[in-house]
Amino acid sequence: MTSMRSRRHILAATALVAVFGTTTFAGDAWSQDKVLTMAVPGDAALDNLDPRVLLTTNHQQVQIALFDSLVRSKGPDIVPAAAESWEVSPDGKTYTFHLRAAKWSDGKPVTGQDFVDAFVRMFTTSGASSIYDAIQNGAEVRGKKADPSTLGVKAPDDKTVVFTLTSPTPYFLGLLTSSYSAPSRADLVTKFGDGYGASAESLAYNGPFVLAEWSNQDKLVLKKNPDYWDAANVKLDEIVFLLVPEPSTQRNLFDSGELDVYTPQTEAEAKDYEAKGELIRYNKGGMRSITFNHQGQGDATKAKLLSDPNFMKWISNTIDRQGFVDKVLEGNGIPATVQTPSATTVYPGTTWGEVTPNIGKYHPLAPDAAKAEEYKAKTLADMGVSSVDDLPALSVLTSEDPQNPKLVTPYIFSVLTQMGLKVTLNQQTGNQFWSTLLAPALGFDLAIAGWGPDYDDPYTYMQYWQSSSTDMGTTFNNADYDKLLQQANNETDLKKRAEILGQAEALFGDIGTAVPIIHYKGSVAVQPYVKNMLTSSFGAALNYIWVDIQK
């Protein structure tokens, strides 16, 4: 772990670059390189940048600059990237991509096989590959029930990649914007083994930038890739990422001009920057929930309690979502009564909030004392006990700092203790948290977890809970829910598909394994000289690839 003292040295050194830039003498004039300095928030260093071990949006925020997937998000649009064109079959099940002439940073050509290798490796090494289960035999390969050679990703030649899907998947292009679907170098994976992605020299890059410096996992420096196919439209010369976990430190650095970008932590902060003309507001996807482990870590009594919908509803009806957002988060969030944010697009011109019948139906904005008591009584009866004291003790897994009163963890922990439950907090750092949460570990009873969407469609919030998923600590395993999601993916009438997704959402809201708490609110402060910062409701929220610095 890097000490605060050494981190200050890093910040101070970087500040000189951020404020004054790197000057070079050209003829009779001085020219200033265009450098963007950003902070990477969170409680863990970026210890691996291999897209196949993507764990957080922090990783993806860096990876979007280093790697070109077949397509890329540019604001609300999906634009060509490594692929210059593509076709979709009439039945919506076959996508054929044609690669442009492009090179890796070490001069080797980018080939179709590089994409095949990437997807095979993803399905054979990562539980998070479940977001791509629309690909033929994807779930089977991940579950070791099918040979990787049967995966529905093929390269008939060096410049073509063909995906075969099990059903029409209207959000598939959005999935491919993620750096998770970037190409992979099989030769470097073989050479570096477990060290692949853990150092700058272990990776090759096909994106607009290359990783030039990686200092103690506290600072990353990216340089413009002169061989990138679209280099002429990339204005930045350099991007500096600093690991700055504390939001207050981030704000101080932004206010002093040492950071170019800052995410306000409260609505009051956002309004301060808005008044200065330094704020961008946008629809941001993502949420935070309480996840229930129906398996109870092998303890039959805990499994019975955690699998009881009445217990889930008792907790949900005790939470004051609106009050928490207003009073604790100071308006920096949206109370969540369903998993999918209202602003999510469900079909062109229509958002999920306009069609779902489930908002507030299963999880209330304000606590309902009468219902909470009703579900408490049902829970005790189901468990065959007369007192809350007789319920098993539970551990609550979280990656947040419990000392920070503005975060969800201390509030939810207080709710659980006020209910009389015996709970302990299991605080873990980033990678350790995910290793504990995800299958096969499932080392939690309750977990406070959140994620951002991989594409702009309600399915990205619903697919985590299907039986084939090994992501987000899911233990739902409900055949009726799985069937509804499969029906939705087979339905080509988008309005009918939305109705089916609404049924799936209702089923999960009634008996599912997660209680929604908040949806994220999108706002970012940028320095006045930072031009053309784009935002997205899915994937990496900030798209800085086309940013220009005009001082």
Task: Read off the pLDDT of residues 313-336 as tens digits, 9 standing for 90 and up.
Answer: 999 999 999 999 999 888 888 999
pLDDT at position 217, please? 65
* pLDDT band for position 23 (cuts 50, 70, 90): very low
Over residues 290-304, the mean pLDDT reads: 96
- Three-state DSSP at 280 gives strand
Lowest mean pLDDT among 42-56, 238-252, 406-420, 425-439: 42-56
Predicted pLDDT of residue 1: 27
What fold, for 68-182?
Answer: Dipeptide-binding Protein; domain 1 (3.90.76)
Q: How far apart (Å, rounded) are the C-alpha atoms in residues 254 and 260?
A: 6
Domain ranges of the chain: 1-67+199-283+523-551, 68-182, 287-519
pLDDT at 309 over 80: yes
8 A C-beta contact, residue 35 and residue 237: yes
Please write the tens of the pLDDT for every residue from 446-461.
999 887 888 889 999 9
**Tokens matching residue 149:** 């050679």
Q: How much of the chain exceeds pLDDT 70, in percent? A: 91
Q: Evaluate whether 500 touches 416 at the Cβ level (below 8 Å).
A: no
Cβ-contact 485, 466 below 8 angstroms:
yes
Q: pLDDT at position 157, please? A: 97
CATH top-level class of 1-67+199-283+523-551: alpha beta
Output the pLDDT for position 524.
Answer: 94
Architecture of the domain defined by 287-519: Roll (3.10)
Looking at the chain, the whole-number percentage of residues with pLDDT higher than 90 is: 66
Does residue 298 have a pLDDT over 60? yes
Q: Please report which confidence band the pLDDT of residue 6 belongs to, taking 50, 70 and 90 as the band edges.
A: very low
Stretch 196-216: mean pLDDT: 89
47 or 227: which leads in pLDDT:
227
Segment among 24-28, 100-104, 454-458, 493-497 with least mean pLDDT:
24-28
pLDDT attached to residue 438: 85
401-421 pLDDT per residue, tens: 555 546 789 999 999 999 999
Burial class (CB in 10 A: 0-12, 13-18, 19+), 30: exposed
pTM, whole model, 2 decimals? 0.80
Question: What was the pLDDT predicted at 250?
Answer: 93
Average pLDDT, the chain: 88
Residue 18 CB neighbours (<10 A):
22
Give the integer Cα–Cα distance in Å for 36 and 137: 42
pLDDT in tens, 345-390: 998 889 999 999 999 999 999 999 999 999 999 999 999 999 999 9
pLDDT at 13 over 60: no
Give the pair of three-digit tokens for residue 322.
């609106």
- C-alpha–C-alpha distance, residues 138 and 122, integer Å: 10
pLDDT at 4 over 50: no
